[in-house]
């Protein structure tokens, strides 16, 4: 029987670049920016790293394949570097590699670093991806917003929600994230918006308007992990440990079997259940202090509240409109602005989410610091509602 | 003895109003002012002669055995007639056959190169069925001719297709005789690789061509059948030249009321398919048993075919046919959209349109031809779950059996919308891109493109049917990819 990852690995240091349209920087410079901050925070130098995990998604417009781009940009001391790719959950995957390496005892100190340079395409939004020579011949013609917008139609039908009510809740989600992002100097989008702006924005994919979609940003995030013992030996205070780390991947049943109704994430529900079990959390709505969810689109955030068992099924709209997830609410969500406003450099996002939870748990979140959070959760999702990778990670103060 | 035993047709949904064409060109040619009457059928961006041929064939075969089941054992040949086929060297009839699960041991051929290709194919099929080696043959004629902006063809042409099932025996229309007159009379031509027709003076075509060549063929076929001209009850002769059919009828002594509606007002002239389109339209009204039908078509000569209706022709078979499709039309006065669909104008499509979807891997396309062209998925022999695509391991989470699936086509299955969106971000020639998950009535689902859909029309639960369409065009290499899309089920269904 597996015993899980709880409290076996501590975060020694983290770093995150400024996210946004970083016209002046390539992936290499962004990696160095996040890396230097993480090293300084950890109080070590590069020669102390035993291995590294590197996450990026779009090799076509980014740095190419393999682990070499990271090893070269950071001049790592000829250690093992593994590139991982798992769609938008790639960052969580890199973190998982580094954490497991430390937990296994194979490494004392390991690095996870994710980066994405998206603003070298010449247009807004993400480049298309094809998925191979067969899929290109039959997969529906759509985009990420179109894929996630599918949730809205099914959620409305299942719960009998009018389009207007749904749009109001979605607008609240975006307004909240913009308000939070305004307090984050590293965030891509830092202007507050009103509900009217969100409701009247140009349509991207019915019913998602411009403000229902997250930023397409350049950025990098890094995390250095070690054992709690080594962290203490290195003089680390307020030690934050990993409580749970779960991934769940679709196996084609949502896309091909009529048991799924299209209104929720089958994988998120599984990953969340396993993560709570691993972390020993019985009542998530009462025990989770704060979380970062994969708010690539406002509707993703809405249904994820229920998939993470924080809102009751069909109850997310009420919770959202009641301010339950606002910065002053019961369980603040996207305190750093989330993908929506901090930005979404694909390969970096999972680690960026952990960065905010770590800052909050370390009481170093500046103007957006919450009062005494104990448990932080990240939910990092890649793919589309019908076929995806869901990562749920829980971190907290060491017991 | 041979005859036609079933018929069917396809007309695309959009009807471009000729008033919109006329309004666009009056600035340069005032004569357009008087040419704005009626409407013509235009293909959607994802339709061509091949997709229309598949749909006409499905309409024709709808009351026969499901193509995937019994038909292959009796159908001996598939003829595809058109002058606008997408491939010059890849048999187009073979694509139609595969889409209908009619590939395998069966003759298939493309008949092209003339406006009478449709009647030539029909005549060849009838003669084959009258002989010892052919029990039945499917004849499909389809055309989507390009016309230059402000040309006569732009107003006169229509896009459409028809199909006829030919069998030994009397059928509903018994074949009496056929004659072909070959003459290299070039009223118009389209050079190899050219997009557009080059046409000579109408008066010369009528006086020196039609009025001399067609009567000779008609008289010959009547003579062959031992019939007088006034025995003809229905005379089908497509021509965009005013009173051309009338002139031929008068010249040979066919009754004036025998002239069959050429559908110029509400469909347009469907090129090589048009004689068969008019024939389907006629049959859809039901025919008096014993009625004599003469079908002629002009094009570097003339085909003339003579038939007699049997008792089976009295009652329409109930296909959607030309009439059903005409009734389902959607009027459009968006002339710019028509230009864009037909690449008659250079539009800024944005960087998203630049992407090159790899060159099509022909090896994959062949390996998965039943999936891609015939919409074939699988049925699990253990749990009975229908699924698309077919895989080695059952998709049912409660089953998961290995190597249990047998082929199952979703082509004719009813489905409804589970999720949808209208996507304005992604590049598509007719934005927004409507797509979503559909679930089939008897099981199975997949994420599909919707086509022929209006903004605001889709909802969860909307019933849809599957149609064969262009998935994408690889312009760099001149390749067209086909797949199936979902279309809202409207009104009468076939």
Four-CA torsion B41, B43, B48, B50, nearest 10 degrees: -60
Across the range A50-71, mean pLDDT stands at 92
Q: How far is A272 from chain B (nearest CA, A)?
A: 20
- What is chain B's mean pLDDT, rounded? 95
Residue in A199, A245, A252 with CA at minimum distance from that of residue A394: A245
More confident residue, A166 or A2: A166
Instruction: Note the pLDDT tens digit of each residue in A362-376.
Output: 999 999 999 999 999
Interface membership of A206 toward B (CB under 8 Å): yes
| Lowest mean pLDDT segment, chosen from B140-154, B192-206, B352-366 | B352-366
Is B372–A138 a contact, with Cβ atoms under 8 angstroms apart? yes
Report the pLDDT value the prediction gives residue A2, as an integer from 0 to 100.
83
Residue A52 in contact with residue A102, Cβ under 8 Å? no
pLDDT tens digits, B329-341: 999 999 999 999 9
pLDDT of residue B68: 46
Q: What is the pLDDT of residues B335-371, one digit of tens each?
A: 999 999 999 999 999 888 887 766 788 999 999 999 9
Q: What is the per-residue pLDDT across A275-300, written as a single tens digit (0 to 9) for each?
A: 999 999 999 999 999 999 999 999 99
Which tokens hold the place of A239?
A: 């030690």
For residues B438 and B415, what is the distance between their CA atoms, to the nearest angstrom?
A: 6
Between A128 and A202, the more confident residue is A202
Element (H, E) at A280: none
Alpha carbons A178 and A184: distance in angstroms, whole number: 10
Contacts of B392 in chain A (CB under 8 A): none
SS3 sequence of B145-211: CCCCCCCHHHHHECCEEEEEEEEECCCCEEEEEEEEEECCCCCEECCCCCCCCEECCHHHHHHHHHH
Q: Touching check for A160 and chain B: CB below 8 Å?
A: no
Distance of CA B395 to the CA centre of its chain: 36
DSSP string, A300-353: HHHHHHHHTTSS-TT-HHHHHHTTTTSTTSSS-B-TT-HHHHT---HHHHHHHH
Residues of B in Cβ contact (< 8 Å) with A146: 421, 423, 425-426, 433, 435
CB < 8 Å to A261, chain B:
418
- Per-residue pLDDT at B70 exceeds 60: no
Chain B residues in contact with A388 (beta carbon < 8 A): none
Cβ–Cβ < 8 Å for B248, B237: yes
Q: Say whether pLDDT at A62 is over 60.
A: yes
Task: Look at strands B330-332 and B188-189 and give their pairing.
Answer: unpaired
pLDDT band at B66 (very low <50, low <70, confident <90, very high): very low
Pairwise CA distance, residues B248 & B260, whole Å:
13
At residue B65, the pLDDT reads 47
What percentage of chain B reaches a pLDDT higher than 70? 97
Residue among B360, B420, B425 minimizing CB distance to A153: B420
Distance, in Å, from the CA atom of A379 to the CA atom of A293, rounded to the nearest integer, reads 5
- Determine the Cα–Cα distance for residues A171 and A386; give it in Å rounded to an integer: 24
In Å, the largest CA–CA distance within chain A is: 58
Residue B493 has pLDDT above 50, yes or no: no
Q: Give the CA diameter of chain B.
A: 74
Q: Which of B334, B321, B265, B273 is nearest to B45 (CA)?
A: B334
> Are the C-beta atoms of A340 and A359 separated by less than 8 Å?
no
Question: For residue B390, is pLDDT > 70?
Answer: yes
Please name each of the domains of chain B with its CATH number: 2-341 (3.40.47.10), 351-375+410-488 (2.40.50)
Who's near A348: CB < 8 A, 6+ residues apart? A16, A17, A19, A34, A55, A91, A114, A115, A116, A219, A220, A221
Q: Dump pLDDT digits (tens) for A64-83.
A: 899 999 999 999 999 999 99
Active site (annotated) includes residue A293: no
| Minimum Cα–Cα distance from B441: chain A residue | A258
| Per-residue confidence band for A204, with pLDDT thresholds at 50, 70 and 90 | very high
pLDDT digits 0-9 by tens, B81-110: 999 999 999 999 999 999 999 999 999 999
- The closest alpha carbon to A341, from A186, A189, A213, belongs to A189
Q: Which residues of B touch A258 (CB under 8 A)?
A: 439, 443-445
- pLDDT reported for residue A131: 80
Choose the closest CB to A140 out of B371, B395, B447: B447
Q: Cα B489–B278–B79 angle (5° rounding)?
A: 80
CA of B435 vs chain A CAs: smallest distance (Å): 6
Which of B368, B395, B448 lies nearest to residue A257, judging by beta carbons? B395
pLDDT per position as a tens digit, A115-157: 999 999 888 888 877 688 899 899 999 999 999 999 999 999 9
Task: Spell out the residues 6+ positions from residue A77 whose beta carbon is closer than 8 angstroms to its own.
Answer: A46, A47, A49
Q: A143 CB near a chain B CB, below 8 Å?
A: yes
Q: Is A16 an annotated catalytic residue?
A: no
**Nearest Cβ partner for B483 among A130, A137, A256:** A137
Closest-CA residue to B371 (of A345, A4, A134, A348): A134
Q: Which residue segments constitute the domains of chain A, with CATH numbers given?
A: 10-120+218-233 (3.40.47.10), 144-211+242-397 (3.40.47.10)
Does residue B71 register a pLDDT over 80? no
Q: Say if CB B233 and CB B291 are below 8 A apart.
A: yes
> Distance (Å) from the C-alpha of residue A137 to the closest C-alpha of chain B?
7
> Residue B104 phi/psi, 5° resolution?
110, -155
Task: Exactly one of A16, A57, A88, A379 is catalytic; name it.
Answer: A88
Closest CA to A25 of A88, A131, A119: A119
DSSP characters over B5-38: EEEEEE--SEEEEHHHHHHHHTTT-GGGGGG--S
Q: Can you tell me the distance from the alpha carbon of A26 to that of A31, in angstroms, rounded to the nearest whole number? A: 9
| Residue A59 pLDDT | 80
Quick one: tokens of B313? 């022709």
Tell me if chain B has a CB within 8 Å of the CB of A141: yes
- Name the DSSP letter for residue A112: E
Contact A256 B439 (CB under 8 A): no
Put simply, the answer to whether B388 touches A205 (Cβ < 8 Å) is no
Cβ within 8 Å of A, B 385-404 = 385, 387-389, 391, 395-397
Is residue B292 over pLDDT 80? yes
Spatial separation of the C-alpha atoms in residues A103 and A46, rounded to whole Å: 20
Beta strands in A162-300 (DSSP E): 203-205, 208-209, 219-226, 240-249, 290-292
From the list B476, B478, B446, B481, the residue with the least C-alpha distance to B464 is: B446
Specify the 3-state DSSP secondary structure of B346: coil
Query: Residue A124 has what pLDDT?
Result: 83
- Chain A nearest-CA distance from B396, in A, is 6
**B357/A121 touch (CB, cutoff 8 Å), yes or no:** no
For residue A376, count CB atoms less than 10 angstroms from its CB and return exposed for 0-12, middle for 13-18, buried for 19 or more: buried
Looking at residue B206, its pLDDT comes to 96
Quote the pLDDT of residue B291: 98
CB-CB contact of B51 with B469 (8 Å)? yes
Distance to chain A for B456, nearest Cα, Å: 10
Query: Is B67 a residue whose pLDDT tops 50?
Result: no
Of B391, B422, B445, the CB nearest to A205: B422
Write the CB contacts of B34 (distance below 8 Å, at least 6 apart in sequence): none
**Cβ neighbours for B110, distance < 8 A, ≥ 6 positions apart:** B80, B81, B82, B85, B91, B92, B93
Reported ipTM: 0.95
């Amino acid at each position: 029987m597996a015993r899980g990852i709880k409290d076996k690995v501590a975060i020694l240091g983290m770093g995150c670049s400024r996210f946004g349209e970083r016209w002046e920087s390539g992936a290499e410079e962004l990696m160095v920016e996040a890396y230097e901050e993480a090293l300084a925070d950890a109080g070590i130098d590069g020669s102390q790293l035993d291995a590294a995990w590197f996450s990026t998604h779009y090799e076509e417009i980014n740095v190419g394949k393999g682990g070499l781009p990271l090893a070269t940009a950071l001049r790592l001391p000829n250690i093992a570097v593994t590139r991982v790719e798992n769609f938008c959950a790639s960052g969580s995957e890199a973190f998982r590699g580094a954490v497991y390496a430390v937990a296994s005892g194979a490494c004392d100190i390991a690095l996870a670093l994710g980066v994405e340079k998206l603003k070298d395409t010449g247009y807004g939004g993400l480049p298309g991806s094809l998925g191979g020579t067969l899929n290109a011949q039959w997969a529906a013609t759509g985009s990420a917003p179109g894929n996630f917008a599918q949730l809205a139609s099914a959620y409305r039908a299942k719960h009998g929600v009018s389009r207007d009510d749904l749009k109001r809740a979605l607008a609240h989600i975006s307004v909240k994230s913009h308000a939070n992002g305004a307090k984050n100097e590293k965030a891509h989008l830092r202007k507050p918006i009103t509900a009217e702006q969100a409701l009247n924005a140009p349509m991207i994919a019915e019913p998602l308007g411009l403000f229902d979609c997250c930023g397409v940003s350049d950025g990098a995030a890094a995390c250095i992990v070690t054992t709690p013992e080594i962290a203490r030996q290195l003089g680390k205070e307020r030690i934050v440990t990993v409580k749970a780390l779960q991934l769940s991947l679709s196996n084609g049943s949502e896309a091909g079997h009529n048991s799924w109704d299209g209104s929720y994430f089958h994988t998120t529900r599984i990953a969340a259940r396993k993560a709570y079990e691993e972390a020993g959390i019985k009542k998530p709505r009462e025990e989770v202090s704060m979380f970062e969810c994969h708010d690539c689109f406002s509707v993703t955030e809405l249904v994820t509240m229920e998939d993470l068992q924080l809102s009751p099924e069909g109850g997310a709209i009420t919770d959202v409109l009641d301010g339950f997830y606002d910065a002053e609410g019961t369980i603040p969500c996207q305190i750093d602005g989330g993908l929506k406003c901090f930005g979404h450099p694909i390969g970096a996002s999972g680690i960026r989410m952990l960065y905010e939870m770590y800052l909050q748990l370390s009481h170093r979140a500046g103007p957006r610091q919450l009062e005494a959070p104990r448990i932080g959760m990240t939910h990092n999702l890649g793919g589309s509602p019908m076929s995806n990778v869901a990562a749920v990670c829980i971190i907290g103060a060491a017991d | 003895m041979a005859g036609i035993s079933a018929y069917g047709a396809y007309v695309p949904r959009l009807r471009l109003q000729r008033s919109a064409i006329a309004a666009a060109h009056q600035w340069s040619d005032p004569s357009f002012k008087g040419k704005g009457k009626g409407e013509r059928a235009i293909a959607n961006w994802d339709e061509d002669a091949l997709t229309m041929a598949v749909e006409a064939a499905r309409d024709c075969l709808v009351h026969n055995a499901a193509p995937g089941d019994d038909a292959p054992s009796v159908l001996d040949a598939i003829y595809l007639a058109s002058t606008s086929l997408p491939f010059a060297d890849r048999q187009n009839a073979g694509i139609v056959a595969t889409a209908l699960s009619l590939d395998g041991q069966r003759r298939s051929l493309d008949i092209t190169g003339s406006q009478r290709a449709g009647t030539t194919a029909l005549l060849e099929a009838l003669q084959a069925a009258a002989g010892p080696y052919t029990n039945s043959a499917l004849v499909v004629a389809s055309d989507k001719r390009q016309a230059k902006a402000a040309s006569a063809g732009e107003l006169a042409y229509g896009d459409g297709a028809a199909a006829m099932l030919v069998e030994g025996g009397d059928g509903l229309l018994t074949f009496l005789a056929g004659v072909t007159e070959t003459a290299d009379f070039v009223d118009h031509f389209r050079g190899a690789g050219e997009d557009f027709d080059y046409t000579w003076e109408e008066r010369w075509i009528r006086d020196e061509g039609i009025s001399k060549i067609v009567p000779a063929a008609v008289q010959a076929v009547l003579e062959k059948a031992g019939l007088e001209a006034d025995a003809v009850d229905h005379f089908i002769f497509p021509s965009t030249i005013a009173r051309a059919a009338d002139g031929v009828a008068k010249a040979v002594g066919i009754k004036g009321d025998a002239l069959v509606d050429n559908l110029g007002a509400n469909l347009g002239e469907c090129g090589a398919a048009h004689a068969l389109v008019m024939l389907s339209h006629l049959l859809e009204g039901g025919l008096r048993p014993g009625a004599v039908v003469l079908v002629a078509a002009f094009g570097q000569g003339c085909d003339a075919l003579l038939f007699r209706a049997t008792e089976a022709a009295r009652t329409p078979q109930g296909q959607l046919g030309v009439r059903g499709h005409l009734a389902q039309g959607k009027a459009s006065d968006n002339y710019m959209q028509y230009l864009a669909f037909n690449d008659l104008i250079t539009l800024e499509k944005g960087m998203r349109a630049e992407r090159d979807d790899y060159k099509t891997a022909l090896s994959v396309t062949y390996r998965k031809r039943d999936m891609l062209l015939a919409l074939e998925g699988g049925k699990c022999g253990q749990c009975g779950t229908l699924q698309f695509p077919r895989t080695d391991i059952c998709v049912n989470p409660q089953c998961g059996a290995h190597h249990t699936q047998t082929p199952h086509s979703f082509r004719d299955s009813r489905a409804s919308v589970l999720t949808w969106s209208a996507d304005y971000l992604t590049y598509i020639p007719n934005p927004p891109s409507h797509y979503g998950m559909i679930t089939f009535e008897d099981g199975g689902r997949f994420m599909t493109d919707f086509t022929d859909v209006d903004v605001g029309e889709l909802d969860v639960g909307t019933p849809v049917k599957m149609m064969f369409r262009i998935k994408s065009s690889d312009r760099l290499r001149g390749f067209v990819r086909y797949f199936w899309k979902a279309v809202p089920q409207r009104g009468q269904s076939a």
